[in-house]
Amino acid sequence: MEITNHPTTTTTSTVPSSSDPQSSFITAETYVVQIPKDQIYRIPPNENAAIAESRRPPQQASKKKSTSSSSSSCCSKSCYCCVFLGIFIVVVAIIIYLLTFFFQPKNPKFQVVNLFVSTTNHPKTITYRFRVGVRNLDQRSGVSFEKGGQTSLLFMQREIGQGKFPTFHQDKAGASTILVTLTGSNNRTVLPMQVQSSLNGTSKKHVPLVLSMNLLARMRISLLSEGDARLSVVCELVVDTLRKGSTQILSQSCLVRR
């Protein structure tokens, strides 16, 4: 578009009207408007923007490259740190699990060695003396059995004797034999008929018994710490008779739970 600086001119022409053929005319005018050059705005094409970008000083381009490279390096460092931290946490968790699994504290082992039964008439009581073997399976720490341990003797889920567990200390990987004494009533109204017959020697039937012990022990409770632990020991055994001086243990099975 070319703009001239000539003054504004007006051209007038007369055109006859089609609706009124006699002598009516419509006047048509044409205007030429002059605009100053400093008010004309132009938008350069895309190829001109590329040319201008290529002609910029090299410092600006290097600044852009350096900022982009620094941001990418920071991102890569943070990603590496996150990956390393995640791997480290997984390795530590696996090590702790393996140490806890292979080096977890072991419960002591119990075994009934023999049984002695005696009776008294004044008062009518029965005394059951068990010799129990205790073995500490922990190779790193000892076990101290504290006060408060309770024992009971059952026949067919009926309690026939009660007693207390003795207090003693056992070294690591140590073994000892202790005496556990229980007493019960010899009254015929309380004592089961099969137990009475076995005590009198009139019955040859085997007698099933359950020796239950609830113990309080000071021992290693975790991989790196010691504390008080409640132990529940249940020994199921079968004896040939309860007659004095001739009791033999035919079978037994002891289970220890913490």
pLDDT tens by residue, 80-102:
888 888 899 999 888 877 766 66
Stated pTM of the model: 0.62
38-54: pLDDT as tens digits: 555 556 666 666 676 67
User: Distances in Å between the alpha carbon of 75 and those of 28, 64, 80, 81, 84?
Assistant: 72, 17, 9, 10, 14
Question: What's the mean pLDDT in 214-218?
Answer: 94
pLDDT band at 219 (very low <50, low <70, confident <90, very high): confident
Residue 14 is predicted with a pLDDT of 43
Residue 100 is predicted with a pLDDT of 67
Whether pLDDT at 136 is above 80:
yes
CA end-to-end span of the chain: 100
190-217 core/surface letters (b: 16 or more CB in 10 A; e: else): ebeebbebbbeeebeeebebebebebbb
Could you tell me the residue ranges of all domains in the chain?
57-102, 109-257
For the domain with range 109-257, which CATH number is right: 1.10.20.60, 2.40.128.110, 2.60.40.10, 3.10.580.20?
2.60.40.10
DSSP 8: P
Residue 258 is predicted with a pLDDT of 87
Whether pLDDT at 230 is above 90:
yes
The least confident of 100-114, 129-143, 160-174 is 100-114
Q: Which helix (H) or strand (E) holds 66?
A: helix 58-102
Whether pLDDT at 24 is above 50:
no
Give the strand pairing for 25-31 and 10-16.
antiparallel
Residue 250 is predicted with a pLDDT of 96
Name, in order, each residue with C-beta under 8 angstroms of 34's C-beta and a sequence gap of 6 or more: 3, 4, 5, 6, 7, 8
Is the Cβ–Cβ distance between 110 and 162 less than 8 Å? no
The least confident of 14-28, 114-128, 147-161, 187-201 is 14-28
Whether pLDDT at 12 is above 50:
no
Task: Return the residue matching tokens 């419960």.
Answer: 107
Whether pLDDT at 103 is above 50:
yes
What residue spans of 129-211 are helical by DSSP H?
Answer: 193-200
What is d(CA 81, CA 87) in angstroms, rounded to the nearest whole number?
A: 10
148-167: pLDDT as tens digits: 999 999 999 999 999 999 99
What is d(CA 148, CA 217) in angstroms, rounded to the nearest whole number?
A: 10
Q: Which helix (H) or strand (E) holds 80?
A: helix 58-102
pLDDT band at 226 (very low <50, low <70, confident <90, very high): confident
Name, in order, each residue with C-beta under 8 angstroms of 254's C-beta and a sequence gap of 6 or more: 109, 110, 111, 112, 233, 234, 235, 236
Question: What's the mean pLDDT in 63-74?
Answer: 58
